[in-house]
C-alpha cells in the first residue's frame, strides 16, 4: 500500500514539473511568476505527500489493529474449540476405559467359567479313558493268554509232526548220506596220501631250488637231458670255451660246421634260472597285488637283461661263434612270464643277440637245427638260422597265453572246491542241532538200515 502511494506522489510531482515547464515556456518574458507558481506547486505537492503518508500510516495502524483483533479472536476461538474437543475426547476415553474394564472383567469371568468347565470335562474324559484303557488291557491280556495257549498247542503239534517226518526222512536218507560221506572220506584219505607224496616231492624240489649252485646244476641237467634226446654227442659239447684266448666257458654249445673241417662254429647255450625274482612275481600274482606284480616283473626283466648282456659279452664272438646265443629257462612258467613282458624278447635279440628259450621252445630249436643245418657252414647260413629261429618263436609265441589260460582254469577249479567246502560247512551247521546217536547204535543202523544205499 505504501509503495503505491509513493509511486502516485512521484507521478503527480512529475506532472507538476511538466506543467511548470510548459508555463515557463509560454511566459518567457517574466519567469518570476512561473517560479513562484512552481514553488507553490512544490509546497502543495509536499503537503499532499505528507498528508498521504499520514493517511497511509493511519490506515496501516488501523489494519494492524484489526488484524491483531482478528488473530486474538481466532486464537480465543481455537482455544475454546480445542478445550471443547479435549473435553469430549477425555469423556470418550473415560467411557472407553470403563467399557474396556467391564469387558475385561466379563472376559475373565467367562474364561474362569470356561476353565472350570474344561477341567471338569478333562477329568471326566481322563477317567473314562483310564477305564476304557484298563478294560482294553484286560481284554488284550486275556486274548494274548488265549493266543499263547493256542500257539503253544499248535507249535507242540507241529513239533511232533516235524519230528516224526524228520525222523522218518533222516532214517531213509542218512544211510545213503553216511555211505556217500564214507566214500568221500576214503577218496579224501587217498587224496591226502597223494598230496603228502606230492608235498614231499615239492619239498625235495624246493630244497634243490633253494641252493644257488644246486639250482644251476638242475638247469644244466635239464638242458643236458634235452641235448641228449635231440642231438647226437658229436653235435654239441659241454663246458666249452667258445671264444679263443678266453677262459670263459659256457655250459653247453652246439657244434655247427664252419669253413674248415676242424674249425666248428659254436652256438652257445647257457641255462639261467632267476628263482627269487620269479617267486616274488608268482606270490604277487597269487595275492592279486598288481603293483607288487609289476615291480617283481620289472626286477625279473632287469635280471634277464643283465644275464643276456653277460652271455653276449662272454660267449658271442663271430666268426668263432654264431652272432647270437641261446638263454635256456628251465621252466615253462618262467618262459611264459618273459614272453608276456611286452618287447622284452625282441629287445634281447636286437640289443644283445640273445634268444630266450623254454624247454618246449629249445626242443623245437634243436630239432630245427638238427634237420636244417647238418652239412651247411654257419658263416653262409647264419641269417637263415636266424629266420628259422624267428619262425620257431612265432609258432611258440602263444605258449605263454596257453599257460595263462591253464592258470585261469586251475583258479576256477580252486574256486569250485572252495564253494563245495562252504556248502559242506553249511550242512554241518544245519546238522549241528541234530542229536548224535551212540557209535554202536549208528553203526548198527548203517549196517542194518534197509533204506541205506548199497
pLDDT in tens, 223-235: 888 888 888 888 8
Q: Are 253 and 264 in contact (CB under 8 A)?
A: no
Assigned C-alpha cell, 228: 641228449
pLDDT for 394 equals 64
Q: How far apart are CA 440 and CA 442, in angstroms?
A: 6
pLDDT, greater one: 361 or 442: 361
| Claim to verify: residue 178 and residue 232 sit in the same structural domain | no
pLDDT for 216 equals 47
pLDDT for 245 equals 84
pLDDT for 205 equals 47
Stretch 405-431: mean pLDDT: 69
* Residue 246, Ramachandran bin (φ over 0: left; ψ between -120 and 50: alpha; else beta): beta
| Claim to verify: residue 30 and residue 62 sit in the same structural domain | yes
| Claim to verify: residue 167 and residue 215 sit in the same structural domain | no
Q: How far, CA to CA in Å, does 198 sit from each of 201, 204, 331?
A: 5, 10, 18
Domain count, the chain: 3
160 within a domain of the structure (yes/no):
yes
**Which of these three, 150, 185, 207, is where a domain ends?**
207
pLDDT for 356 equals 92
Which of 119-133, 250-264, 374-388 is predicted least confidently? 374-388
**3-state secondary structure string across 185-235:** HHHHHHHHHHHHHHHHHHHHHHHHHHCHHHHHHHHHHHHHHHHHHHCCHHH
Q: 13 pLDDT band (50/70/90 cuts)? A: low
306 within a domain of the structure (yes/no):
yes
Q: 213 pLDDT band (50/70/90 cuts)? A: very low
Q: How far apart are CA 247 and CA 139, in angstroms?
A: 109
| Claim to verify: residue 296 and residue 170 sit in the same structural domain | no
| Claim to verify: residue 236 and residue 360 sit in the same structural domain | yes
Quote the distance between the C-alpha of residue 426 and its chain's center. 35
304 within a domain of the structure (yes/no):
yes
| Claim to verify: residue 265 and residue 307 sit in the same structural domain | yes
pLDDT for 142 equals 85
Residue with the three cell numbers 576256477? 412
Q: How far, CA to CA in Å, does 47 sit from each of 9, 40, 44, 51, 164?
A: 11, 10, 5, 6, 157
pLDDT, greater one: 17 or 367: 367
| Claim to verify: residue 182 and residue 322 sit in the same structural domain | no
112 within a domain of the structure (yes/no):
no
| Claim to verify: residue 270 and residue 295 sit in the same structural domain | yes
**Which of these three, 207, 238, 263, is where a domain ends?**
207
292 within a domain of the structure (yes/no):
yes
Mean pLDDT of the chain: 76
Q: 451 pLDDT band (50/70/90 cuts)? A: very low
| Claim to verify: residue 195 and residue 240 sit in the same structural domain | no
97 within a domain of the structure (yes/no):
no
Shortest CA distance to 18 belongs to which of 1, 2, 41, 49?
41
Which residues lie below 8 Å from residue 324, measured CB to CB, with a gap of 6+? 267, 316, 349, 353, 354, 355, 386, 389
Q: How far apart are CA 31 and CA 14, in angstroms?
A: 20
Q: Quick check: 214 pLDDT over 50?
A: no
**Which of these three, 144, 177, 207, is where a domain ends?**
207
pLDDT for 39 equals 76
Q: How far apart are CA 319 and CA 258, in angstroms?
A: 9
Q: Are 272 and 327 in contact (CB under 8 A)?
A: yes
pLDDT for 171 equals 67
Structural domain including 55 reads 2-75
Q: How far apart are CA 1 and CA 62, in angstroms?
A: 13
pLDDT for 217 equals 60
Q: Quick check: 268 pLDDT over 90?
A: yes
| Claim to verify: residue 333 and residue 274 sit in the same structural domain | yes
Q: Quick check: 109 pLDDT over 50?
A: yes
pLDDT for 192 equals 57
Q: How far apart are CA 275 and CA 333, in angstroms?
A: 11
CB-count burial class (<10 Å; 0-12, 13-18, 19+) for 241: middle
pLDDT, greater one: 198 or 330: 330
pLDDT for 170 equals 61
pLDDT for 188 equals 62
Does the reported pTM lie above 0.75? no
DSSP 259: E
Q: Are 327 and 354 in contact (CB under 8 A)?
A: yes
Q: Quick check: 449 pLDDT over 60?
A: no
Q: How far apart are CA 205 and CA 333, in angstroms?
A: 16
> What are the counts of helices (DSSP H) followed by strands (DSSP E) for the chain?
11, 5
Q: Quick check: 408 pLDDT over 80?
A: no
| Claim to verify: residue 255 and residue 241 sit in the same structural domain | yes
| Claim to verify: residue 238 and residue 188 sit in the same structural domain | no
Stretch 235-248: mean pLDDT: 87
pLDDT, greater one: 171 or 299: 299
Assigned C-alpha cell, 145: 493268554
Amino acid at each position: 500500500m505504501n509503495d503505491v502511494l509513493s509511486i502516485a506522489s512521484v507521478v503527480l510531482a512529475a506532472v507538476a514539473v511538466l506543467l511548470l515547464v510548459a508555463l515557463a515556456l509560454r511566459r518567457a518574458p517574466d519567469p518570476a511568476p512561473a517560479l513562484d507558481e512552481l514553488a507553490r506547486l512544490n509546497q502543495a505537492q509536499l503537503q499532499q505527500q505528507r498528508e498521504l503518508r499520514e493517511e497511509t500510516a493511519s490506515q496501516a495502524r488501523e489494519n494492524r489493529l484489526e488484524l491483531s483483533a482478528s488473530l486474538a479472536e481466532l486464537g480465543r476461538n481455537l482455544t475454546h474449540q480445542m478445550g471443547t474437543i479435549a473435553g469430549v475426547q477425555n469423556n470418550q476415553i473415560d467411557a472407553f476405559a470403563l467399557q474396556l474394564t467391564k469387558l475385561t472383567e466379563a472376559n475373565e469371568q467367562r474364561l474362569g467359567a470356561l476353565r472350570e468347565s474344561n477341567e471338569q470335562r478333562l477329568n471326566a474324559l481322563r477317567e473314562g479313558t483310564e477305564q476304557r484303557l484298563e478294560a482294553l488291557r484286560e481284554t488284550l491280556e486275556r486274548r494274548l493268554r488265549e493266543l499263547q495257549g493256542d500257539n503253544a498247542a499248535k507249535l507242540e503239534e507241529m513239533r511232533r509232526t516235524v519230528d516224526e517226518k524228520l525222523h522218518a526222512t533222516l532214517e531213509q536218507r542218512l544211510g545213503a548220506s553216511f555211505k556217500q560221506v564214507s566214500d568221500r572220506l576214503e577218496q579224501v584219505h587217498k587224496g591226502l596220501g597223494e598230496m603228502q607224496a606230492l608235498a614231499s616231492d615239492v619239498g625235495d624240489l624246493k630244497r634243490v631250488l633253494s641252493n644257488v649252485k644246486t639250482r644251476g646244476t638242475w638247469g644244466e641237467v635239464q638242458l643236458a637231458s634235452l641235448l641228449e634226446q635231440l642231438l647226437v654227442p658229436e653235435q654239441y659239447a659241454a663246458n666249452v670255451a667258445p671264444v679263443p684266448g678266453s677262459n670263459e666257458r659256457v655250459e653247453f654249445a652246439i657244434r655247427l660246421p664252419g669253413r674248415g673241417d676242424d674249425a666248428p662254429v659254436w652256438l652257445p647255450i647257457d641255462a639261467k634260472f632267476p628263482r627269487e625274482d620269479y617267486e616274488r612275481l608268482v606270490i604277487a600274482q597269487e595275492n592279486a597285488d598288481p603293483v607288487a606284480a609289476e615291480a617283481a616283473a620289472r626286477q625279473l626283466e632287469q635280471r634277464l637283461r643283465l644275464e643276456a648282456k653277460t652271455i653276449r659279452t662272454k660267449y658271442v664272438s663271430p666268426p668263432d661263434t654264431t652272432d647270437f646265443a641261446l638263454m635256456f629257462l628251465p621252466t615253462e612258467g618262467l618262459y611264459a612270464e618273459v614272453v608276456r613282458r611286452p618287447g622284452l624278447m625282441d629287445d634281447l635279440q636286437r640289443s644283445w643277440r640273445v634268444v630266450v628259450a623254454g624247454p618246449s621252445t629249445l626242443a623245437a630249436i634243436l630239432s630245427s637245427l638238427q634237420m636244417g643245418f647238418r652239412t651247411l657252414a654257419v658263416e653262409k647260413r647264419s641269417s637263415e638260422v636266424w629266420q628259422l629261429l624267428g619262425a620257431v618263436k612265432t609258432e611258440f609265441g602263444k605258449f605263454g597265453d596257453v599257460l595263462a589260460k591253464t592258470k585261469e582254469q586251475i583258479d576256477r577249479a580252486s574256486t569250485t572246491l572252495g564253494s563245495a567246502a562252504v556248502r559242506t560247512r553249511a550242512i554241518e551247521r544245519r546238522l549241528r542241532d541234530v542229536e548224535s546217536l551212540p557209535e554202536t547204535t549208528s553203526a548198527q543202523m548203517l549196517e542194518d538200515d534197509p533204506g541205506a544205499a548199497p
